[in-house]
């Protein structure tokens, strides 16, 4: 199993860009849940906390693809450094407003400013695609490895963010996320030898890749997936608080990510056959079905036993996440032109971000209105929507894959950055 992963790191510089990309990605798992934990303590409302976190997610959904489009046109280093600077300044403003009890509207302004955070995960995958575009097994393994890295982020990130916010001071989680972003991006941008060259067509691409019909299916399905993620995070923090052990929420969410991490490690070693579109639909279906036991145990078991049961349910539910995301990234690489790959991958994470916004808001509202356990109806409903979207779009995905298979290889690239 490990030999498959050792092979992908034979390329010079691959370990360096992947490891620094890991540091730069940690804030993705820390910021939203850090804002929820911070503001629920300082403002006493999960509704406000969820809305501020949702504002960040919506802003990232709007601005993130535009940042990645600039990356495709001008190169990674030239864009991510100023984008990170703006993000860090906005994060500092948000922390000051939270500490100084500024009006709520100021929280939303600075949260929106943080939406220019660069999509490091998309840029890491773009580097892997540049290395192994003509070696499908290695590219599959590389995408699987990055999915595992994502899940490690979601294991470590919430533990750090929630743990620091509840044991040190409320702003500690978001503050550390900002430090990770600044250091990680600086180190990642320094890996210039492995930066993908700018595709000659990138400067002349007029329309956005969002017009790709297959990509639209992935984005819509990922909105539902993001709603699962966002609502489960908010509701799990509230549920743990309701059972008298709020800090345990970080461990419970880490179990969810652990299930996904283990599934991703195994999935990366498999020799896959059959329809890629069918595998994607199967993952979305499993993810939706896994939300039903979560709701059942949360409503029927209470106290420490309820926390254990919710953790076990999320561990099993996590098995669907990595294989689904890995398959989605492979679909993007097949469906969109090479000159727009970073933008295309960012649009999928944009769908996730938008879904997180909807899910965290809806989860917060339901928790405030009907109690923490009832909040788990939100991810179940989101999962059902995702199944409908994926099923309705299967034809588009298959048509897009057929068209890509019949097309000619992408043209040569020219490095306009170095």
Whether residue 392 lies inside any domain: the answer is: yes
Which DSSP state fits 410? P
Whether residue 241 lies inside any domain: the answer is: yes
Across the range 365-373, mean pLDDT stands at: 88
Percent of the chain with pLDDT over 90: 27
Q: How confident is the model at residue 91 (pLDDT cuts 50, 70, 90)?
A: very high
Q: CB of 111 within 8 A of CB of 55?
A: yes
Whether residue 214 lies inside any domain: the answer is: yes
Give the count of domains, the chain.
1
How many Cβ atoms are within 10 Å of 32's Cβ, its own excluded? Answer: 32
Longest dimension (CA), the chain: 60
Between CA 381 and CA 22 the distance in angstroms is: 32
In angstroms and rounded to an integer, the radius of gyration of the C-alpha atoms of the chain is: 20
Instruction: Give the pLDDT confidence of 149-171 residue by residue, as tens digits.
Output: 877 887 778 778 888 888 888 88
Whether residue 395 lies inside any domain: the answer is: yes
Q: How confident is the model at residue 178 (pLDDT cuts 50, 70, 90)?
A: very high
Instruction: Give the pLDDT confidence of 399-411 residue by residue, as tens digits.
Output: 877 775 544 333 3
In three-state secondary structure terms, 79 is helix
Whether residue 417 lies inside any domain: the answer is: no
Q: What is the pLDDT of residue 1?
A: 58
Instruction: Give the pLDDT confidence of 105-114 residue by residue, as tens digits.
Output: 899 999 999 9
Looking at residue 97, which CATH number applies to its domain? 1.20.1250.20
Among 123, 25, 46, residue whose Cα is nearest residue 77: 123
Q: How confident is the model at residue 415 (pLDDT cuts 50, 70, 90)?
A: very low
Q: What is the pLDDT of residue 271?
A: 75
> 244 pLDDT exceeds 80?
yes
Instruction: Give the pLDDT confidence of 1-10 residue by residue, as tens digits.
Output: 567 778 888 8
Between CA 258 and CA 309 the distance in angstroms is: 16
> 412 pLDDT exceeds 50?
no
Q: CB of 346 within 8 A of CB of 68?
A: yes
Whether residue 131 lies inside any domain: the answer is: yes
| Residues in CB range of 51: below 8 A, 6 or more apart | 108, 361, 364
Q: How far is CA 235 from CA 11, 45, 367, in A?
A: 42, 13, 7
Region of 294 on the Ramachandran plot (φ > 0 left; ψ -120 to 50 alpha; else beta): alpha
Given the structure tokens 């991490």, which residue do they identify? Answer: 261
In three-state secondary structure terms, 238 is helix
Range of the domain at 315: 13-406
Across the range 39-60, mean pLDDT stands at: 83
Q: How confident is the model at residue 104 (pLDDT cuts 50, 70, 90)?
A: confident
Across the range 314-342, mean pLDDT stands at: 86
Whether residue 3 lies inside any domain: the answer is: no
> 380 pLDDT exceeds 60?
yes
Whether residue 418 lies inside any domain: the answer is: no
Which DSSP state fits 301? -
pTM of the full predicted structure? Answer: 0.74
């Amino acid at each position: 199993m490990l030999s498959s992963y050792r092979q992908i790191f034979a390329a010079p510089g691959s370990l360096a860009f992947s490891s620094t990309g890991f540091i730069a990605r940690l804030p993705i798992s820390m910021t939203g849940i850090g804002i929820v934990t911070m503001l629920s303590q300082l403002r006493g409302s999960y509704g406000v906390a969820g809305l501020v976190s949702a504002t960040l997610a919506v802003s990232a959904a709007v601005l993130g693809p535009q940042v990645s489009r600039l990356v495709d046109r001008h190169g990674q280093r030239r864009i991510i450094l100023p984008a990170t600077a703006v993000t860090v300044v906005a994060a500092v403003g948000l922390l000051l407003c939270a500490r100084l009890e500024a009006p709520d509207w100021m929280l939303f302004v600075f949260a929106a400013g943080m939406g220019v955070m660069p999509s490091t995960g998309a840029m890491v995958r773009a580097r892997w695609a540049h290395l192994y575009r003509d070696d499908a097994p290695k590219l599959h393994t590389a995408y699987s490895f990055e999915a595992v890295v994502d899940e490690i982020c979601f294991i470590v990130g919430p533990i750090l963010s929630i743990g620091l916010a509840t044991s040190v001071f409320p702003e500690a989680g978001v503050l550390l996320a900002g430090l990770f972003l600044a250091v990680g991006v600086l180190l990642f941008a320094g890996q210039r030898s492995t930066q993908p060259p700018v595709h000659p067509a990138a400067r002349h691409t007029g329309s956005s890749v969002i017009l790709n019909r297959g990509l639209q299916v992935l984005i819509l399905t990922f909105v539902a997936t993001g709603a699962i993620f966002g609502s489960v995070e908010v509701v799990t923090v509230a549920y743990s608080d309701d059972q008298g052990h709020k800090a345990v929420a970080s461990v419970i969410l880490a179990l969810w990510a652990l299930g996904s991490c283990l599934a991703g490690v195994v999935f990366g070693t498999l020799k896959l056959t059959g329809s890629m579109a069918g595998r994607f639909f199967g993952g979305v279906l499993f993810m939706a079905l896994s939300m039903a036991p979560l709701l059942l145990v949360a409503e029927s078991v209470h106290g420490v036993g309820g926390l254990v049961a919710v953790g076990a349910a999320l561990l099993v539910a996590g098995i669907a996440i990595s294989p689904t995301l890995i398959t989605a990234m492979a679909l993007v690489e097949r469906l969109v032109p090479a000159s727009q790959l970073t933008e295309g991958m960012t649009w999928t994470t944009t769908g996730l971000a938008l879904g997180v916004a909807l899910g965290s808001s809806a989860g917060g509202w339901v928790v405030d209105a009907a109690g923490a356990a009832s909040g788990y109806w939100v991810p179940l409903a989101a999962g059902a929507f995702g199944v409908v979207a994926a099923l309705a779009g299967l034809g588009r995905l298959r048509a897009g894959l057929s068209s890509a298979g019949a097309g000619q290889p992408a043209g040569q690239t020219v490095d306009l950055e170095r």
